[in-house]
A and B are shown apart, each in its own frame.
Chain A
Amino acid sequence: MDVTPLEVAVVGFLLGGVFFTFVTAVGVIRLPDVYARAHTASQTDTLGAGLTLIAVALVLGLETTTVKTVLLVAFIFVTNPTAAHAIARAAHEEDIEPWREDR
């Protein structure tokens, strides 16, 4: 079976994306409070989606759709922090104390 370098790269990026998405799933379960979980949520959005979309762009090659894929990443990078900040801010307004390991 022939495997081109491109396919290796694509699979590599996909695995990376899956890995970070998996880490987020684990993190959401393991981490103690809303603030800590917001940290791990940005992992899916940045590297999880980012690496996966890079793989998609590689498969598509030079095409208009590729540009749209890159734009998708750009928009995620703008909306993710906005959403994470909104959640954290709401939690803080509700006077939710951050969890600490020493109390």
Chain B
Amino acid sequence: MVVPVGESVTLRQTVTYAVREALSGAGEPVVHFVAPVAWHDIGDVAAGVREETEMLLERVAVWAREDGDDDLVVETTVIGADTYLFGPDDYARVIATYADDSGIERVVVDPQYSPGGNVPILRPMEAALAERGLVVDEAPVDRPTRRGRLLRRGGALQFATLFGISFLFYQLLGGFAGTRFDVATGAVSATLVAAMLHRVTFTDRLGLRTLGRRLVRLVAYVPYLLYEIVVSNLRVAYVILHPSLPIEPRMIETECAVWGGMPLTLLANSITLTPGTLTVRVHGRRMMVHTLTPAAREGLFDGALERAVRFVFYGRPALAVATPRERDDARIVEDDDGADGGETVVSGPAGGDA
């Protein structure tokens, strides 16, 4: 059987259950523990995640050997490292692919398993796995499960951070008057905000150092974005005021080299914010962007914004990643014909050679 694992309070019990089931079943007792991860091999975040995951798998293997006997075969693997895992379907896909490759039909799930951070994706993931013809089975664990609610992992630190930010913002709007009324109402509001939202606001478990570095790099990013906005504004203004309106709108599709919800959002919004490029659809890392002029298109193919966003989140090593043009990750969408040439529809004497 396959057991997807991640940090959870009931992981130990799940391992025991899986091992017992494997030993009591017919045939050779084999348990595959797989850890689906969504990282990419760049930057300061990835190294930590990789190490953590490998340590988790080692721990699980030790537990499994404790519970099992000499016949038990334990396999541990990290899966999904080369793709972008976003929703329940993505997780189900990599797990099902692994199961198919190993000829396994049964999946045992830890009821507290939460690969999506604060986003509850366990139940849809189970449904997606069942849809792919796998037998899905939740490990019976003592601890009551709290699924269905949006909460997990919210702690005192999250509460304090959110309270601090809300309180400061409240005082800022009040002009730091410092009156007793302002302080009291600010504290009440900030407490309410923090109490309601501290479990859902922070989705990534990031260290203070990573967070601080990202903030510094974000501050450096803003002037750059403003510069890009001014330049593209002038370009679009020129095109619009030009008597012949020299526009060549094209839809382009690009596979962005950024990973995760926040980086993608920042990139998609920055693209839309600069006139001349407009994000139309986002599917995972695949973006459809409407471009107004060839110049805007070139900018996107050269990936300057993408590189800057990568820098904000992953630091200097991320600058070395190739541009979308070099990666062959960006192309102009030519209608439903699906042809790649530029002249699919232009009727001419040379037609019919496709």
Contact = CB atoms under 8 A, between A and B. Distances in A.
A77 B309 CA distance: 16
Interface residues of B, number: 38
Contacts, number: 106
Contact of A20 (B237, B251, B274): B237
A40 B275 contact: yes
Nearest to A28: B240
Nearest to B346: A102
B319 to A, nearest CB: 24
Contacts of B166: none
Contact of B288 (A39, A82, A84, A92): A92
Contacts of B277: 39
A65 to B, nearest CB: 8
Interface string A63-103: 01001100000000110111011001101100001111111
Contacts of A102: 345-346
B331 to A, nearest CB: 15
Given A39-B292, A42-B272, A64-B175, A31 B247 contact: yes
A52 to B, nearest CB: 14
B240 A26 contact: yes
B334 to A, nearest CB: 10
A39 B248 contact: no
A55 interface: no
B272 A98 contact: no
B229 A47 contact: yes
A85 B272 contact: yes
B269 interface: yes
Interface string A35-53: 1101110110011000000
A77 B273 contact: yes
Contacts of B281: 89, 92
Contacts of A88: 278-280, 290
A28 to B, nearest CB: 9
Contacts of B229: 46-47
B275 A42 contact: yes
Contacts of A67: 172
Contacts of A92: 280-281, 288
Interface string B272-307: 111111111100000010101000000000000000
Given A39-B290, A88-B280, A101-B248, 20 more contacts: A19-B237, A23-B241, A26-B241, A30-B245, A35-B249, A36-B249, A39-B275, A39-B277, A40-B240, A43-B233, A43-B237, A47-B229, A64-B175, A67-B172, A80-B272, A81-B273, A85-B269, A85-B272, A98-B290, A100-B248
